[in-house]
Amino acid sequence: MHSYGVFRMICLGDDSETCQYVSLGKFLDRSGQFEHVEVVRCLRCGHGVSMPPLPDVTFLYQNRESQDFQPDAKGLSHAIKDIAFRSQARKLLRQIGGAEGRILDFGCGSGQFTRVLGEMVSGASEVVGADMHSEPPAELAERPYLGPKELSSCKESFDIVIALHVLEHDDDADGLLTTISGYARSRGKVVIEVPNIDCVWGMAFGKFWDAWYLPYHRHHFTRNSLVRLMQRNGLKIESVHGVTVPTMGRSFADIAGGTNNLFWLLLGILAHPVQVLGEVLTGNSTAIRVIAVKE
Ligand SMILES: [Zn+2]
């Protein structure tokens, strides 16, 4: 049993305790920059964190080459992802009760989802992408995009702020959530989506489950630990949803030790119905999406 001093955060299960971690052992290093990466999980709240601590993660994203920027999405892969993103965007719009006004896609990555979402909202609404690079990604060359400098002067100016698969990328998830919700106006909506540590496929694939994605993923949320963190940040929970993110292809690629390509993408599509079925039957989806209102 280790204390992991740097992560002595207030437990997300019980406010009167600090997290008590046990190691889940050594994991795959997807960056090729570490000797040893591991995940520790709290016995009390079930929340997981990645080791070693990385107070500043910007070096991991210097060039847009990590999976977060979909470097493999060209030609047919790109077209397939467009279709998948359109279906996901439709579902998201339904869950938030339609999109009115200005929408910020914080941590937009490749911008492919941002563009698709932007194409689907009505003319009076606008979807703006934002990320840590000052130049927009190619997908958003013709669309609204804010670099870190421009974004910093946009506090409380968005009707809806979405951050999909962003919160788990920083050691200080609490501080990052404060920053994210800071861009929403009062009574505006905040949508957070992160991978689910309890996903049934995480149990099946073990360390090869693509959603572990070390060292890029710093936090591994449970449904409750995400809800608790958002409530502590003054967000009123409106709804919680399970989301199936296609990760079978990349998990197979990890097991085979190969890089992700069209072959694995197609295999993932074939396996997708099985993935959905397993998640529906167990109630433990790939990702958790929480929609909240800023108090
Ligand atoms: Zn805990």
- Separation of 172 CA from ligand 1 center, angstroms? 15
- Separation of 219 CA from ligand 1 center, angstroms? 12
Residue 42 counted as domain residue: no
- Separation of 237 CA from ligand 1 center, angstroms? 20
Taking the alpha carbons at both ends of the chain, their separation in whole angstroms is 39
Residue 12 counted as domain residue: no
Q: How many domains does the chain have?
A: 1
Residue 72 counted as domain residue: yes
Residue 76 counted as domain residue: yes
- Separation of 196 CA from ligand 1 center, angstroms? 15
Global pTM value: 0.89
- The answer, yes or no, to whether the previous bond of 71 is cis (omega within 30 of 0) is no
Residue 241: domain span? 56-294
Q: What is the CATH number of the domain that holds 192?
A: 3.40.50.150
- Separation of 8 CA from ligand 1 center, angstroms? 9
The pLDDT value recorded for residue 233 is: 93
Least confident of 138-147, 251-260, 282-291: 251-260
Residue 271 counted as domain residue: yes
Residue 48 counted as domain residue: no
- Separation of 236 CA from ligand 1 center, angstroms? 21
The pLDDT value recorded for residue 3 is: 42
Residue in 62, 56, 58, 48 with CA at minimum distance from that of residue 7: 48
Tens digits of per-residue pLDDT, 116-175? 999 999 888 999 999 999 999 999 999 999 999 999 999 999 999 999 999 999 999 999
Residue 1 counted as domain residue: no
| Interatomic CA distance for residues 194 and 210, integer angstroms | 13
| Interatomic CA distance for residues 130 and 170, integer angstroms | 16
More confident residue, 129 or 17: 129
